[in-house]
Amino acid sequence: MSDHASYISPFSTRYSSKEMQYLFSPDHKFKTWRRLWISLAKAEQKLGLAITDAQIAQLEQFKDDINYDVAEAREKEVRHDVMSHVYAYGKQCPDAEAIIHLGATSCYVGDNTDVIILREASQLVLKQCAQVLRNLSAFAEKYKAMPCLAYTHLQPAQLTTVGKRATLWINELAEDVENLEFQLSRLKLLGSKGTTGTQASFMELFDGDEEKVKRLEALIAEDMGFSGCVPVSGQTYSRKVDAYFLGVLSGIAQSAYKFANDMRILQSFEEMEEPFGKNQIGSSAMPYKRNPMRSERICSLARYVMVDALNAPMTASTQWFERTLDDSANKRISVAEAFLAIDAILQIYINVTDGLVVYDKVVERRVMEKLPFMATENIMMESVRRGGNRQELHERLRVHSHAAAAKVKLEGGVNDLIDRIAADDAFPLSKEEITMHLDPRKYTGRSSGQVDEFLADVIAPILARYEGEGFQAVLNV
């Protein structure tokens, strides 16, 4: 497929947002190329090269009016995308034709544009992540005190709260946000490094004046809104940069997968449920089903991103000396697909977290089914305070617990552990006193306080950085 054709991807045609699709579209790329050519011309003029204001004005006039028919026809002849667009731009700007791309290589527009798009796409991802954090924070605050079963080994363990569990999802995504912010904070343009990174062509243009060559890069970086350019490179910026960013996207995919997988299990338990439309069909065969298809899609796309992220380190590690072109096709696909897929994941993540359903009665029933087992430690400690033998009581509780569990599992009966303990003379407690230990709120520890502290100390500062950046998800399918 020609690089100038519309970008066709399962993510762009089915799942991802129009905003992310445009960032990786040919139109945005080629318009960014023209911005870079204008920036180069302005910097070269400022540093003394014979470039006129009229030439720059003509370049500005056509920066967003790309004559694709001319560029595509030319590429069929010369088989070079950058030179085809130099040619097409020159046909629109005849007065400036001679100075377009002066001293530059293809990587001047190609790699610098990739860095610019990395930044723009990452900024969009951060806004989306912030919206997920905003949704989940409100959810955690609302349910911070609601006791629910916690699990280790997917077996019921001590209680937690619905809100405290949500902070685990929030925390992982917050770490991803800070990681992506860090990568953006150190992202720099390639600059104008020349064919092997030595800037030899620009040294020729400026008669060996190193300060002007250095100043040229500084002017371009400033014009493009970057703090600077990479200090050294071959022909390209280090492909490890792509590996860093795709590594962060993999992290976001991992966090989203964890959330969605938990949701799928909770929906199976009938404790929680993702949004389900009034006319939504859960199964083509079984009308009663309410399948967690949104969470399942998050998991499906997340696996893709985690695997796709392996492309970038493979590409980075196999660059030969100053540059080899086998990175190009892989890079154009893997980086774009990773961002488009993450965009799709976050669209769904926002949608799901904006409408999470909690079935509190089911949560409470499941807690109370297991609470007698969890209360045994407190019952044992109170009995010891009243003169009981800890080791003997522990053994009796073990026997009673297994017997009660067997009745539930083998006979389908109710959990009668409390009755068994109350009938055992070794425990100096009445049934009423034992029942006092069956308040779930006594077994959630600092869950509620942890939620308050975490949201205030960790999440609020993140959300403050994205205040006013509310993001409305569009669920395409």
Per-residue pLDDT of the chain (477 residues; tens, 9 = 90+): 344 444 556 666 678 899 999 999 999 999 999 999 999 999 999 999 999 999 999 999 999 999 999 999 999 999 999 999 999 999 999 999 999 999 999 999 999 999 999 999 999 999 999 999 999 999 999 999 999 999 999 999 889 999 999 999 999 999 999 999 999 999 999 999 999 999 999 999 999 999 999 999 999 999 999 999 999 999 999 999 999 999 999 999 999 999 999 999 999 999 999 987 655 545 555 555 578 899 999 999 999 999 999 999 999 999 999 988 888 889 999 999 999 999 999 999 999 999 999 999 999 999 998 898 888 888 999 999 999 999 999 999 999 999 999 988 899 888 899 999 999 999 999 999 888 888 999 999 999 999 999 999 999 999 999 998 766 666 655
pTM, two decimal places: 0.91
Catalytic residue IDs: 153, 283
Q: 376-437 belongs to which CATH class?
A: mainly alpha
Where are the chain's structural domains?
A: 10-360+455-465, 376-437
3-state secondary structure the chain: CCCCCCCCCHHHHHHCCHHHHHHCCHHHHHHHHHHHHHHHHHHHHHCCCCCCHHHHHHHHHCCCCCCHHHHHHHHHHHCCHHHHHHHHHHHHCCCCHHHCCCCCCHHHHHHHHHHHHHHHHHHHHHHHHHHHHHHHHHHHHHCCCCEEEEEECCEEEEEEEHHHHHHHHHHHHHHHHHHHHHHHHCCCECCCCCCCCCCHHHHHHCCCCHHHHHHHHHHHHHHCCCCCECCCCCCCCCCHHHHHHHHHHHHHHHHHHHHHHHHHHHHHHCCEECCCCCCCCCCCCCCCCCCCHHHHHHHHHHHHHHHHCCHHHHHHHCCCCCCCHHHHHHHHHHHHHHHHHHHHHHHHHHHHHCCCEECHHHHHHHHHHHHHHHCHHHHHHHHHHCCCCHHHHHHHHHHHHHHHHHHHHHHCCCCCHHHHHHCCCCCCCCHHHHHCCCCHHHHCCCHHHHHHHHHHHHHHHHHHHCCCCCCCCCCCC
CATH H superfamily, domain 10-360+455-465: Fumarase/aspartase (Central domain) (1.20.200.10)
